[in-house]
Chain A
């Protein structure tokens, strides 16, 4: 078995525990069902392209992007945990190279992102099935969003993991980043109608682009703007992945 596959196997075993699954499934479900239905009293519907979506359908589709980010951040923390528990050095004195280690994390993050997106799509399906317009063009958008989004957010978590030394600092930074990404985005509410500074801030957040691509994939609303968003996402993912890889390769032991 190739060393990268062995490391991915190990990564998935240590990541896919009860706590992680609860975090990955229960947490977004609370947003979808509790938040979605509670806010329906305030937000009746959200205009999306040439459609009008009810709020639970809007938030459920947003939660797919949110969950990809969430899982990628959590699995990106593999590096942090490996450093903290001595496994990073232990792996590197074994039959592996740093390249094996980096690639295994990318694949792990991608796989977990896909699993998370699939889980939330399955759970949210009853809420947005009436508005779904899957077709040959839009389906790959979901896969693109899952993989590219996972690499992007996984790279962010990796960068943070390699730069910080204390657990306290790491937790503060990860939580702050998470809060900004989650709530200054179109995952929960549309940019239109928000105060101007906030709606501008939305577009300094990669989650907004990710969620927009996911929604385009579900509701069949692919246009030039979404294509630009995909380009931005891909460029950001490549850049951040390169930085994360360089930092990891230079990490002193």
Chain B
């Protein structure tokens, strides 16, 4: 059984279909990345899955429960870090963690232990007595995410949790989440930072204009959509005559920034590379460096979203 299962889940606001009949199946104990451009429907989907808003149509099962019929039962078992900041301005960092635990009915002794554990894990010890109102955006975000771990849960929704965090805090948070997933937690994770999704997610779905346009593991997505490879050749000398020598060869670019750079971007990049190498050898042109750039999730994302936009236009 899946941890999250939706069938034709939809949410409309008047004539606008914010979420347009999506089918999702998220397995237990995995980190599921949910990617998409601004306004694609990511946050609306999270609001639906966390029962904050009701769907216009479709069905959803969360942790085996019908989330439309038993929203409160679902909410008791999930954690949610929303995209927007949420904090108690008059409470200190420590007090807000403690009070949040109280709101979740966590027993007092356990609350105290967890406060200490989270203050340390999220590097909040030095600001434990500072009021939320006086924190920087990044510190406040750290408190918001840390706070959610005050209570037990089976499924955690994280809507762009790393916004405003510096690289080290971001990496710390991602590693903390990975650790919790090892203990059995399932995570539904949205982000704009695709290297982040690549680092942390077991499976990724891309949503555009309310529809899921791709869903698979990051590696499988690369295999499916990442046929275009990039290869770079660097020559020490500036060879402006190269464009004449390479006449007839497609899918390459030349630039003369500190020597000569030939960049091949093609679905048949190996074939193009072979032709270029033959020409360079025939003309006794020495190669300084040759590198292949692996396809990133970012490139897949851009390619898939652009194709989706083009087809809907």
Contact = CB atoms under 8 A, between A and B. Distances in A.
B105 A90 contact: no
Contact of B86 (A13, A14, A86): A86
A14 B91 contact: yes
B128 interface: no
Nearest to A89: B82
Interface residues of B, number: 25
Contacts of B95: 13
B290 interface: no
Contacts of A92: 52
Contact of B87 (A6, A87, A94): A87
Contacts, number: 62
A94 B153 CA distance: 11
Given A86-B82, A86-B84, A93 B103 contact: no
Q: How large is the interface on A (under 10, 10 to 19, 20 to 34, 35 or more residues)?
A: 20 to 34
A81 B90 CA distance: 11
Given A93-B50, A95-B75, A253-B52, A86 B85 contact: yes
A10 interface: yes
Given A14-B90, A94-B75, A1 B85 contact: no
A13 B85 contact: no
B52 A9 contact: no
A157 interface: no
Given A86-B84, A90-B80, A10 B72 contact: no
Nearest to B72: A97
A90 to B, nearest CB: 4
A50 interface: no
A85 interface: yes
Contacts of A97: 72
Nearest to B80: A93
A111 B72 CA distance: 27
A95 B82 CA distance: 15
Contacts of B240: none
**Which of A10, A87, A92, A94 lies at the interface centre, i.e. has the most chain B CB atoms within 10 A of its CB?**
A94
Contacts of B251: none
Nearest to B95: A13
B53 A90 contact: no
A16 to B, nearest CB: 9
A149 to B, nearest CB: 25
Given A10-B99, A10-B103, A13-B99, A93 B87 contact: no
A253 B91 contact: no
Given A13-B91, A85-B86, A253-B47, A95 B53 contact: no
A17 interface: yes
A7 interface: yes
Interface in B72-106: 72, 75-76, 78, 80, 82, 84-91, 95, 99, 102-105
Among all A-B residue pairs, the 10 with the closest Cβ atoms: A86-B86, A90-B86, A93-B80, A95-B76, A93-B50, A86-B84, A17-B90, A14-B88, A6-B103, A87-B86
Interface of A: 1, 6-7, 9-10, 13-14, 17, 81, 85-87, 89-97, 253
28 contacts: A1-B105, A6-B102, A7-B103, A9-B99, A9-B102, A10-B102, A13-B95, A85-B88, A85-B89, A86-B85, A86-B86, A86-B87, A87-B88, A89-B52, A89-B84, A90-B86, A91-B103, A92-B52, A93-B50, A93-B78, A94-B75, A94-B80, A94-B103, A95-B105, A96-B75, A253-B47, A253-B52, A253-B53
